[in-house]
Amino acid sequence: MFSFLSKKKPTTAHINAQAITVQPKETLLQAALREGIDFPHSCRVGGCAACKCKLVDGRVKELTETGYILSDAELDQGYILACQSVPQTDIRIEVDLSAQAARRTATGRVVAQDKLTHDITQLRVQLNDALPYKAGQFANISIDSLSGVSRSYSFATPVQPDSQVSFFVRRVPGGVFSTAINDDSVVGQTVTVDGPMGDFWLRPSTAPMLLVAGGSGLAPVLALLQEAAAADESRPTTLLFGAREERDLYALEQIQEIARQWRGPFRFIPVLSAETVPDSWRGKRGLVVDQIPEVLEVGTHAYLCGPPPMIDSATALLKQHGIPGAHIHADRFTTLHDVVAVAA
C-alpha cells in the first residue's frame, strides 16, 4: 500500500511546442526518441554534449555531474544534457531540432596522416559525398580497423569543394583511437563520419573577438578563422594559442595566411607553459589563460576550445572581467576519462 502510494507518476515534457510523456526513471532523451522526436544526440552517456538543451521551466534529476562537459556559462543559462536528465516535475525545454535533421553519416577513405607535432596527427579523409557543416562543428569518426569504436573530432577546415575533411588528433595516453591515428598506418582504410554536431561556430557580430585554443583545440578555431577570413571578416581579433613547448606549436603558416587575409587588426600570440630551454623562446610563457586580461578589449566575444580545465579557468576569468556568459562560446574536448571520472 505504502509503495503504491509513493510510486512516481509520468511527467510531461514540452519540447519546444510539442508535449510528450516521460515515464518515471526515463531520461528526457529516451522519452523524446520513443515519442519519435528527432532529438539531437550521439553518445547517450554524457560524453559529447550533442543532446544539450535549455531547461526553461521545471526540475530534472541529473544522473551525472554535467559541469565537466557544459561550461559555467551554459550551466548559468540552464543548459542540461537530455541523456542525463530525468524529469522530476513537468518541464519545458528549448532545443534546436534542425541540428539533428542536418546530421548524416558519410563514408570515405583515409588519404593521408600528416604529423603536425610529436603527438598530433592530421587525419585527412576523402568523403564519397558532400557533408555540409559549419566551421567549428565536430563529427563522430570510426575507422575499419577499430570496429565499434567511435570518437568525436572537430573539423579542422571549412567545407572543401572536393569533399575532403581533416581532423587534428592528439595522442591521449592509453587512448584507443588517438593512439591508432598517431602510431599506426590507417591510410586507405574506410572511415565513417557522422555529423555535423555542436554549436561552436562564429556568431555574426562586429565585436572584438578573442579565440583561445589549447593543443588540438586549434582545429575548430582554425576552421572558423579560415572561413571568416575568406568572407572578408574585419573585426579586431586576437588568437591565443597555448602549448607546452615550442615543438608543440603547429599550423603557424596557416595562421600567418589568415592574419594576412584578415581585413582588420589580427594578433596571434602563442604561449608556452613548459618550455625549459632558457633563451630558446622569446615569446610569452605561462598558462595561455593568464594572458587573457592583457589582451581583453571592452565588449569582447570569446571562443574557447581545448581541454576542460583550460575552458573552465578561461570562462571564470572572462566573467570576472565582465564578459557575459552569452558571449562566451566553448568546445570542450572531453575524453572517456572525464566521463568515467564523474560517473565514479
Ligand X SMILES: Cc1cc2nc3c(=O)[nH]c(=O)nc-3n(C[C@H](O)[C@H](O)[C@H](O)COP(=O)(O)OP(=O)(O)OC[C@H]3O[C@@H](n4cnc5c(N)ncnc54)[C@H](O)[C@@H]3O)c2cc1C
Residue from the set 31, 81, 86, 120 that interacts with ligand FES by CB under 6 A:
81
Among 46, 108, 217, 220, binds ligand FES (CB under 6 A): 46
Binding partner of 247, given ligand X, ligand FES, none, CB within 5-8 angstroms per partner class: none
- Binding flag, residue 49, ligand FES (CB under 6 A): yes
Binding mask 47-86 for ligand X (x = CB under 6 A): -x--------------------------------------
Instruction: Output 173 or 188, the one with its CB closest to ligand X.
Output: 173
- For residue 339, the minimal CB distance to ligand X (Å) is 8
Interface with ligand FES, residue 44, by CB under 6 A: yes
Could you give the angle at the alpha carbon of 30 between the alpha carbons of 197 and 89, nearest 5°? 110
Q: Answer yes or no whether residue 83 interacts with ligand FES by CB under 6 A.
A: yes
- Scanning 80-88, 95-103, 150-158, 267-275 for contacts with ligand X by CB under 6 A, the matching segment is 150-158
Residue 311 in the binding site for ligand FES (CB under 6 A): no
Residue whose CB is less far from ligand X, 79 or 168 = 168
Q: Toward ligand FES, which CB reaches closer, 81 or 328?
A: 81
Among 142, 178, 226, 300, binds ligand X (CB under 6 A): 178
**Does residue 139 touch ligand FES according to CB under 6 A?**
no
Which CB, 231 or 340, lies closer to ligand X?
A: 340
37 vs 223, which CB is nearer to ligand X? 223
Task: Tell me which of 219, 239, 296, 330 binds ligand X, using CB under 6 A.
Answer: 219
